[in-house]
Chains A and B, each alone.
Chain A
Amino acid sequence: MPWWFWLVVVFVLLAGYVTATSNRLDRLHARLDATRAALDAQLLRRAAVTLEIAASGLLDPATSVLLASAGHEARAASGDDADREVVESRLTVALRAAFDHPDEAQTLAAEPAGLALLAELEAATTKVLLARRFSNDAVTATLAIRRHRLVRWLRLAGHVPPPTFFEIDDAPPAHLAVGDAWRNVDAVDDAWRSADIDDNAEAADVAPDVD
């Protein structure tokens, strides 16, 4: 075989590899966009429900003001604001402060309108937790492939800035789920759910190591 034959073979293999890798990267960036958009939507929904609860007049004025201000700040800090993580964490803390005691949730649940809001809040806080996990998972996978030498040398990622983790406190309040009768049973503290929250803190510790 002439030497140029091998050159062609190497070139073809290389081209195939580059094509496959850039496709993978392309798909990961798409997944990143989608999961980030989902996280954004869930955060906004949580802030909106919080504001609605604050405005409902069903809770005492002090709690209402607390929730309204935290909800407003979270809703205002949209997009890629640098302090969004701080603001969203503050909203989480405010929600926990308001609903960690079962009585507050019961007060709200006593009214039909309040019960609906409570169910919405419960769904929204859980989905924030899920969406953030999925989004950060996509970040991990994307960063892993962007670290490949060939990807860096050939600048396959183009000018897309490297994705960043979204780190907030998103542990939901303990006593939100009064909608289901069985959850009133004191014994059922959702063992797995609280376990999940613990891991979440653990996951947050672990995540930056990937970088």
Chain B
Amino acid sequence: MKVGLVCPYTWDVPGGVQAHVHDLALALIGLGHDVSVITPADDEAALPSYIVSTGRAVPVPYNGAVARMAFGPLSARRVRRWLRDGDFDVVHVHEPTTPSLSLLATWSFDGPLVATFHTSVQRARTLAAAYPILQTALEKISARIAVSQAARRTLVEHLGGDAVMIPNGVSMATFADVEPFPGWPGDGGALGFLGRFDEARKGLPVLLAAFEQLAVVRPGLRLLIAGPGDPDEVRRALPAEVFDRVVLLGQVSDIDKARMLRSVDIYVAPNIGGESFGIVLLEAMAVGTAVLASDLEAFRAVLDAGRSGRLFTTGDPDDLALKAAELLDDPDARGALVALGRATARSYDWSTVARDIVRVYETVAVDAPDAVARRGPYGRR
């Protein structure tokens, strides 16, 4: 099957959507499909052969943040040329409500269109203003996929219609056999945190408060933190003797992320909201680390309602400390969680997820009836 994937965000900038498109493309190629990806990119020389670049994206404010988008007649022309040259059986756009390549591709393509919606934190007002413009494009999409219940709800509430749920994938191969950092997790036990720690919704303060409680009674316990942010914020939040037992890694590479997750006894996800899908939870489960997460709907779904990872009351450091202490004292319970967690992570392996996505392709591209590609009597659309 000839598949065209459209990524709206700059390829070289790390991000969830880019990672998703990258992994999906590799998984589809692995399944023997003919894949081409179109995306904005800064450095065209470094791109693999299946990627077509539309050049640099422009930073513009949209949806409450400044994001880099590719739009305008030049981008539109490049997308049209890519669609014409690609002769795709199905085109799969990501985040089609973003004013970038995905929307342009949706606009120009006459054929089976699949769209994946990633975001759950869309501003209702932005969408309402853009709705009449978006609607005409969105009507062309034959199959809509949401990566999480939260993303699906956003779609249903703000855009109408429905979507099937196919979650993000985890590349088991990357995470299955990694070594912990030397000396970790250590005899006294270790907790881990991953994510931007200056962002309130990631909930690091909740974990720090709980760690302070735990550290008083557990002299060997350490905390490993990876992700961008200001270390001083952490220092200010903790007494000096407790801060000494916190290790800050800063921003880490993919492989170090996996090693970091492997280096702790418990991976803690203290997020207090705004999370649509707990991909890091799956990665922690994939490397074989027990997970303790706040009781958010998205986490609850990934952790199978608390079976393959423990849950604590969202935003409550006392409950977090209590549950963490239980797990630290009970290696058998941790072992059981690791086994269940591995199995859960495997069911989100990209090969499985890609197979489900291919089924969507096959459903919309059944013999691609001429009706789909039919053109209106008054011109191109």
B-binding residues in A (CB < 8 A): 19-20, 22-24, 26-28, 30-31, 33-35, 37-38, 41-42, 123, 126-127, 129-131, 133-134, 136-138, 140-141, 144-145, 180, 182-183, 185, 187-192, 195-196, 199, 203
Query: Which of these, A31, A38, A199, contacts B363 with CB under 8 Å?
Result: A38
A136 engages B162 (CB within 8 Å): yes
**B33 touches A (CB below 8 Å):** no
A130 engages B366 (CB within 8 Å): no
Per the 8 Å Cβ criterion, residues 161-180 of B in contact with A are: 161-167
B162 engages A203 (CB within 8 Å): yes
Q: Who on chain A is nearest to B347 by CB?
A: A188
Determine the chain B residues whose CB is within 8 A of the CB of A185 once the complex forms: 343
**B43 touches A (CB below 8 Å):** no
**B360 touches A (CB below 8 Å):** yes
A187 engages B371 (CB within 8 Å): no
* Interface-central residue, A26, A123, A183, A191, by most chain B CB under 10 Å: A191
A to B CB contacts below 8 Å, 27 in the list? A20-B136, A23-B376, A23-B378, A24-B136, A27-B376, A27-B381, A31-B140, A31-B142, A34-B371, A37-B366, A41-B366, A41-B367, A126-B356, A127-B359, A127-B362, A130-B164, A131-B363, A133-B164, A137-B144, A182-B343, A182-B347, A183-B347, A189-B304, A191-B302, A192-B167, A192-B348, A195-B149
B344 engages A30 (CB within 8 Å): no
A-binding residues in B (CB < 8 A): 112, 136, 139-140, 142-144, 149, 152, 160-167, 301-302, 304-305, 307-308, 339-340, 343-344, 346-348, 352, 356, 359-360, 362-364, 366-367, 369, 371-372, 374, 376, 378, 381
Query: Which of these, A19, A28, A37, A190, contacts B347 with CB under 8 Å?
Result: A190
The total of Cβ contacts below 8 Å across the A-B interface reads: 116
Query: Which of these, B161, B163, B359, B381, contacts A141 with CB under 8 Å?
Result: B161
B142 engages A134 (CB within 8 Å): yes
A144 engages B160 (CB within 8 Å): yes
Given contacts A187-B344, A191-B344, contact A19 B378 (CB under 8 A): yes
CA gap between A22 and B136 in the complex, in Å: 12
A31 engages B372 (CB within 8 Å): yes
B359 engages A123 (CB within 8 Å): yes
Given contacts A23-B381, A187-B308, A190-B347, contact A30 B374 (CB under 8 A): yes
Determine the chain B residues whose CB is within 8 A of the CB of A199 once the complex forms: 149, 152, 165
A191 engages B369 (CB within 8 Å): no
CA gap between A138 and B161 in the complex, in Å: 8
Query: Which of these, B136, B308, B363, contacts A127 with CB under 8 Å?
Result: B363
CA gap between A180 and B142 in the complex, in Å: 29
Q: Who on chain A is nearest to B303 by CB?
A: A191
The 6 closest A-B pairs by CB, nearest first: A23-B376, A30-B371, A185-B343, A38-B366, A187-B340, A191-B304
Min distance, Cβ B168 to any Cβ of chain A, angstroms? 10
Q: Give the dominant DSSP class at A's interface.
A: helix
CA gap between A31 and B372 in the complex, in Å: 6
Determine the chain B residues whose CB is within 8 A of the CB of A134 once the complex forms: 142-144, 164, 363-364
Min distance, Cβ A19 to any Cβ of chain B, angstroms? 5
Min distance, Cβ B151 to any Cβ of chain A, angstroms? 12
Query: Which of these, A20, A34, A182, A196, contacts B372 with CB under 8 Å?
Result: A34
Determine the chain A residues whose CB is within 8 A of the CB of B356 once the complex forms: 126
CA gap between A27 and B366 in the complex, in Å: 18
CA gap between A86 and B282 in the complex, in Å: 40
CA gap between A20 and B149 in the complex, in Å: 34
CA gap between A41 and B152 in the complex, in Å: 26
A34 engages B381 (CB within 8 Å): no
CA gap between A196 and B304 in the complex, in Å: 13
Given contacts A31-B140, A31-B142, contact A137 B167 (CB under 8 A): no
Determine the chain A residues whose CB is within 8 A of the CB of B360 once the complex forms: 130
B301 engages A195 (CB within 8 Å): yes
CA gap between A39 and B114 in the complex, in Å: 16
B165 engages A192 (CB within 8 Å): yes
CA gap between A177 and B124 in the complex, in Å: 39
CA gap between A90 and B374 in the complex, in Å: 36
CA gap between A144 and B136 in the complex, in Å: 12
Given contacts A140-B162, A195-B301, contact A26 B376 (CB under 8 A): yes
Min distance, Cβ B365 to any Cβ of chain A, angstroms? 9
Q: Who on chain A is nearest to B346 by CB?
A: A182
Min distance, Cβ A22 to any Cβ of chain B, angstroms? 8
Determine the chain B residues whose CB is within 8 A of the CB of A180 once the complex forms: 352
Q: Who on chain B is nearest to A137 by CB?
A: B161
Determine the chain B residues whose CB is within 8 A of the CB of A20 once the complex forms: 136
Determine the chain B residues whose CB is within 8 A of the CB of A31 once the complex forms: 139-140, 142, 372
A37 engages B165 (CB within 8 Å): no
A133 engages B369 (CB within 8 Å): no
Given contacts A30-B374, A182-B347, contact A35 B301 (CB under 8 A): no
